[in-house]
Chains A and B, each alone.
Chain A
Amino acid sequence: MGILIDENTKVLIQGITGRDGSFHLARMIEYGTNVVGGVTPGKGGQAIDGVPVFDTVEDCVKETGANTSIIFVAAPFAPGAIRESLFNDVPLVICITEGIPVKDMIEINQRLREGGSRLVGPNCPGLVTVGKSKVGIMPGHIFEPGPVGIISRSGTLTYEVASELSHAGAGQTTVIGIGGDPIIGTTFIDVLEMFENDPDTKVVVMVGEIGGTDEERAAEYIKTMSKPVVAFISGRTAPKGKRMGHAGAIISGGVGTAESKIEALEAAGAPVAGLVSELVDKVKERID
């Protein structure tokens, strides 16, 4: 099973002709993802790796029946790319691009509230339902099929966690990076709920970091879950008031500390590991 994407997912790539878009097109095809089309305004009519390119999302959806979009467009143009997919009612939109201004995301978030589509990201690595479909930039070979669902605010830290779990024989259902920005389309709670309802997922791993209160809110939801959740929080040693790369990773006004997140999660029955190796042990205990 897994969540959000599977073998029936038909992917369109916005920004398919760019350096990152074309590179990851090849990696996704290699993984077995069904990439049906791409969009780069002004470059319609070409084909890359056998995948047709269109000028607009509308044309691409009409011709190919794409139901998921992944965005590799540069930050100044990415809000426009997200809107284009939302206006065309693409059910699932994944934005890889980092560096989108908050003002644009406030506006996009309003549109998302009106319903229709789901946005994952921005500033995220995308997701993979192991062995079925990869819509993202994560290296495909680090995942193994198994019973663990992973949700993360980070990109590369997700790879770290997934790869260590795979090494230890704890494979995954779906691995999803929800993004490191202050406003994101899909939150921890959304994904926790999906994993709770996914029959193949037995244990959930939640990788959070300093900044905001999403982990604390997630802890409230975890209290109601039947499945075990194991957590990891990065940024325990980060100084206050300094933004740690992610636009969302900053401890400000006493809010967003690692301590507060760890406390909330532990109180909700989700143990928080200090090292990835420790996380792996805790997950394995819960699978067996």
Chain B
Amino acid sequence: MKLHEYQSKELLGKNGMPIMPGRVAASAAEVPEIVEEIGLPVVLKAQVHVGGRGKAGGVRVVGSMEDVVPTAEKILGLTIKGLPVKKLLVTRACDIAKEFYFGVIFDREKRACTMILSGEGGVDIEETAKENPEAILKITSDTRGKIYDFQVRRAAAAMGVPRELHNQFIKLALALYDMFVDMDLTLLEINPLVVTDEGNLVLVDAKIITDDNAMYRRKEIKEFERADPENPDEVKAKEYGLSYVKLDGNVGCIVNGAGLAMATMDMVKHFGGEPANFLDIGGSSNTEKMKQAMKLILSDKNVKSILINIFGGITRCDDVAAGFIGALRSENIDRPVFIRLSGTNEEIAREMLEKENISADTRMEDAVKKAVAVK
């Protein structure tokens, strides 16, 4: 899960990292109180999950009290790359003597964690990687999952951290690395990490992505998601053990298994349809999941037909049928449904459906073609 900047900073602050004081606001009226608390000048920053906020006018420095509310209103009225700005972070501005890039990622290729550092902070790191690759330094964790101080010291010198700040920088870099590991993060990006005029290190912008699989032991992060979901439907789906991604088409898809679900989307498209979603009902069998999946798809007004594609393995077809019949009783299913069933307990499931006068295809292509034909 992607955290908002204000959530990332809350987490960093709780872990003792140097951030400027600040708080999030959902309306312009809340902002003056925060400004009085932290003092001028402040930076108002739109909280949306896209890059290029600054260029879009979503980040503004305010130096006087009378400009606070109008500027906040302006930012809260913005839509940046299709996303309306609903919250803004009010933070104390800090002077900047030098900017660095600092990041830690889960490195899939190396099956380890990699720290990424650059003397060219504040700009898009992917641009730097393309145009000036030697400006980027990488340190990959060893077989024990460790990164050591001498490695960071070498990087600090190479990226131009002032010598008198080396020890402070190394301590901070390793503390951030530990936090990355301890909190089950897959990305921790600080851009820029700043040296102030007084010679202090401050984390000015922060981006965190967490490992969804570790949420069961990261209650504090799960709380962020509940409090401010990026997509409420996707979060709700997750609670029922469904993996759901909303798309723009009109063929609602309910499938077991991610690979088959993607292949189903691909096939819908191949036959001229547009999938309304990706929905994997997951590995283990459960009638309630199927019912919730139907509810979710029915709530999407763009959906014109519903395609259920099940190849039972660990998921048993009879559980799926029971869930579907349950939905039949409790929901108003007002759009055509096409079912394909194969695999574990297929015969039992067919019998159950036949009693309700519902037939199911055996082959995926047949069901997909029917679902796509509905206009």
Contacts and interface: CB of A to CB of B under 8 A. Distances in A.
A binds B: yes
Interface of A: 19-20, 24, 27, 75-76, 96, 98-103, 105-107, 109-110, 113, 125, 137-139, 142, 152-160, 163, 180, 182-183, 207, 209-210, 212-213, 232, 234-239, 242-249, 253, 274-277
Nearest to B49: A241
A156 B106 contact: no
B149 interface: no
Contacts of A182: 106, 108
Given A76-B217, A139-B343, A101 B184 contact: yes
B18 interface: no
Contacts of B186: 102
Interface stretch (B63-71, B86-94, B157-165, B311-319): B311-319
Contacts of A210: 262
B260 interface: yes
B211 A101 contact: yes
Interface stretch (B39-47, B264-272, B294-302): B264-272
Question: Which of A139, A153, A156, A249 has the largest number of chain B CB atoms within 10 A?
Answer: A156
Given A182-B106, A276-B364, 20 more contacts: A102-B213, A103-B211, A152-B259, A155-B257, A156-B313, A156-B343, A157-B260, A159-B313, A160-B260, A182-B108, A183-B111, A234-B260, A244-B261, A245-B258, A245-B278, A245-B280, A246-B259, A247-B211, A275-B270, A275-B365
Given A101-B211, A101-B214, A209 B262 contact: yes
Nearest to B242: A245
A212 B260 CA distance: 18
Contact of B343 (A159, A207, A277): A159
Nearest to A125: B313
B270 A274 contact: yes
A276 B263 contact: yes
Contacts of A248: 108
Contacts of B266: 234-237, 274
Interface in B319-375: 342-344, 364-365
B29 interface: no
B259 A237 contact: no
Q: For the complex of A and B, list the 9 residue pairs with the smallest distance between their C-beta atoms, beginning with the closest.
A: A154-B259, A245-B258, A156-B257, A157-B259, A101-B214, A245-B280, A156-B260, A234-B262, A235-B262
Contacts of B255: 156
A53 B186 CA distance: 38
B143 A237 contact: no
B113 interface: yes
Contacts of A19: 284
Nearest to B344: A139
A229 to B, nearest CB: 18
B313 A247 contact: no
B235 interface: no
B257 A154 contact: yes
Contacts of A159: 260, 311, 313, 342-343
Interface of chain B, main secondary structure: mixed
A24 B314 contact: yes
Given A99-B213, A102-B211, A137-B313, A156 B259 contact: yes
Contacts of B216: 75-76
A152 to B, nearest CB: 7
15 contacts: A19-B284, A27-B344, A76-B217, A99-B213, A103-B214, A106-B106, A113-B143, A137-B313, A154-B258, A156-B257, A159-B342, A160-B311, A243-B243, A245-B258, A249-B259
A160 B263 contact: yes
A106 B284 CA distance: 25
Contacts of A152: 259
Contacts of B257: 154-157, 245
Interface in B283-317: 283-284, 311-315
Question: Which of A137, A138, A139 has the largest number of chain B CB atoms within 10 A?
Answer: A139
Question: Which of B263, B275, B365 has the largest number of chain A CB atoms within 10 A?
Answer: B263
Contacts of A155: 257, 259-260, 283, 313-314
Contacts of B313: 125, 137-139, 155-156, 159
B82 interface: no
Contacts of A99: 213
Contacts of B269: 236-237
Contact of B275 (A101, A106, A154, A237): A237
A139 B259 contact: no
B280 to A, nearest CB: 4
A24 B275 CA distance: 33
A243 B312 CA distance: 23
Nearest to A98: B283
A244 B126 contact: no
Question: Which of B113, B211, B259 has the largest number of chain A CB atoms within 10 A?
Answer: B259
B188 to A, nearest CB: 13
Nearest to B246: A242
B342 to A, nearest CB: 7
Given A139-B344, A237-B266, A180 B364 contact: no
B230 to A, nearest CB: 11
Contacts of B106: 102, 106, 182
B61 interface: no
Contacts of B260: 154-157, 159-160, 234
Nearest to A112: B111
B118 interface: no
B245 interface: yes
A249 B312 CA distance: 21
A232 B267 CA distance: 12
Contacts of A142: 342-343
B278 A101 contact: no
Contacts of A244: 243, 245, 258, 261-262, 278, 280
Nearest to A162: B311
Contacts of B262: 157, 209-210, 234-235, 237-238, 244-245, 249
A235 B144 CA distance: 35
